[in-house]
Amino acid sequence: MFSKSKHEDRLNVLIWFRLARLYHESIKQSNQHLSQWGLTASQFDLLVQIGTHQPLSQQELAEKLFVTKGNITQAIVKLEAEGLVLRKQEWRTKILSLTEKGKALFDEVVPKQEEFQASQFNGLTKIEQKELLRLLRKVEGHNN
């Protein structure tokens, strides 16, 4: 099963390091970009998921973000304290939605962040972008 040569192993590790470095740098730049709205990349993700799928339960949000419900509670509490998110208890379920302030921020920041993220790939032609996406999907499909 693992009969690759040392050279192939090294190449795969180099690819993995490059992807990890690219991801880390992208998050760092996103945090810098989003700071003008007082958001981090993880808070932005919460805002987008809630704004796109509202109303949704805290459990549904956790599943969309591939984390546990407990992992996002503190972040939700902070967004709630800032007046961006409304949490309503419905029996044993916490239902999340954006407040008017949250909707206004969502409408302002989402297009600008999408434009910022897209600009990260301006160094590639459209053909290269499509090829990169195809290759990443192929790697992802192989690992599932």
pTM: 0.78
Residue partners of 54: CB distance under 8 A and separation at least 6: 96, 97, 98
Q: pLDDT per residue over 52-62, tens digit each? A: 998 998 888 88
Q: What is the mean pLDDT of residues 20-48?
A: 92
Q: What is the mean pLDDT of residues 111-127?
A: 92
Evaluate if residue 5 carries a pLDDT over 70. Answer: no
Residue 84's closest CA among 60, 48, 59? 48
- The domains of the chain, with CATH numbers, are 6-112 (1.10.10.10)
Q: What is the mean pLDDT of residues 70-98?
A: 88
Q: Give pLDDT, residue 52.
A: 93
Q: Please provide residue 87's backbone torsions phi and psi, each rounded to the nearest 5 degrees.
A: -110, 125
C-alpha R_g of the chain:
19
Q: Give pLDDT, residue 142.
A: 75
